[in-house]
Structure 1
Amino acid sequence: MLLLVMGALWSAAQLPMLRGAAGFATLIATRVLLGFAEGPAAPVAVHHVHGWFEQRERTLPTVILTVGAAAGVAVAAPTLGAVISHFGWRWAFGAAGLAGLLWAAVWKVEGREGPLAPPVGRDVRSTEGISGVADVPLRAVFLSGTFITAALGAFAAYWVMSAKLTWLPDYLQTVVAGTSTRQPPSVGEPWPGYENGWLVTAALLLVTGVLAALFIRPERDARRLGVPETPGAVDPVVH
């Protein structure tokens, strides 16, 4: 349900820009709504995927989810570039909003929680009196090997991403385009030498996902913390 609401809000944030009278104020307001709806998308999507897999099997599905995001950017960039060229820049927002509404309609019919998803809402309250609930202190979670390595890996990944977002555009504009005889690419057109960059990213993600699935054993942390390997609906983990 949460993914459906976020998708609907994300789509609604795009459509007001189709109005001819929509200006800078509308753009700012809709971008704020977009950030509100899109911000938790990645962790919520990962949480949903984990509801379908045992703990030791979750690494590769999570990587495939991330690859899907990279592939989406690769498909959307030239598609939206073509939309802008033929229908104007406002319809880039319209196309994204309509695609989001289509996804929300499909998710409304087909989307559901996995059998291993932890209880939420009323289900959590209904299990509060069940004995045997694992009481895990947050200190033990934060000091676990899984959390520490995941935090360090995320720090390094976002450090590289920040450097790429701030340095790479200037490099491509001043060095790559400056030494090329062709004009800088238009919206949606890949930069020279980076046409298949998303394929490289996707391949690296898949390789690291397979290696992690082969060598990482998160059940060791689960045993050390004294919780079930995959908490079920009647055995929630309480912090």
Structure 2
Amino acid sequence: MKTQLGSTLLFLTLSISSMAQTKFKPEDTEFYSPKPPVVTVYNQVPSDAIVLFDGTTLDHWVSRQNPTQPAEWTLENNTLTVKPKTGDIQTKQTFEDFQLHLEWKSPAVIKGEGQGRGNSGIFLQGRYEIQILDNDNNPTYVNGQAGSLYKQRPPLVEVRASEDRWHRYDIIYKAPRFNKDGMLISKGTFTLLHNGVVVQNNTVIEGTTEYIGLPKMQAHGAGPIILQDHGDLVHFRNIWIRPL
């Protein structure tokens, strides 16, 4: 055993010594293909993005309750507004990993307090909610405020709206992965920039964002983006997504 161990150590020593003496050229560690695709940005939208809402049509959206029916929310002045009691809306397409951009604004007339004030949400893959909530001096539980992963992770900081009252969310999302038997291989993660400020940094998603009870981790594949009808007149604009 000692002889075998000594031989192994000698081999490793000689290998490291040989590597140290190797003469590398700059081009030995350079490669030229495959080249990354070229992406240009026009009006702040990447050329490879799928524009989910540009202010003119709801063609990419359907009713969550009945996906065979069109989305019933209000489209006016290039803005999409929740139409209370019509239900959530979701994208026709489904996604896994992606970069998502979305802008939202609280209702013009603010009513209520806490969770009853300017409430909506974005569900990633139809399961994991990033909270939308009026946050202008509106105390509530911190893992339910704007920028939180609902009932799981509060934002790192609380970001207020700019003078025009619009908020911007930029989300980089990596979906959870499951094997063929439905067993979890890796949990989902996301990073959220709120008005350009990092408020979630590679946050781990523990499972579904339940109103009551603990998260549930259920095997699934690609899923839609869902916007929530929570009964408040929350506005949306400039929604686009880049599958990664």
Bigger share in strand: 2
Instruction: Report 1 or 2 for greater relative contact order, CA contacts < 8 Å, sequence distance ≥ 6.
Output: 1
Bigger share in helix: 1
Q: TM-score range by the shorter chain?
A: under 0.3
Structure 1-normalised TM-score?
A: 0.23
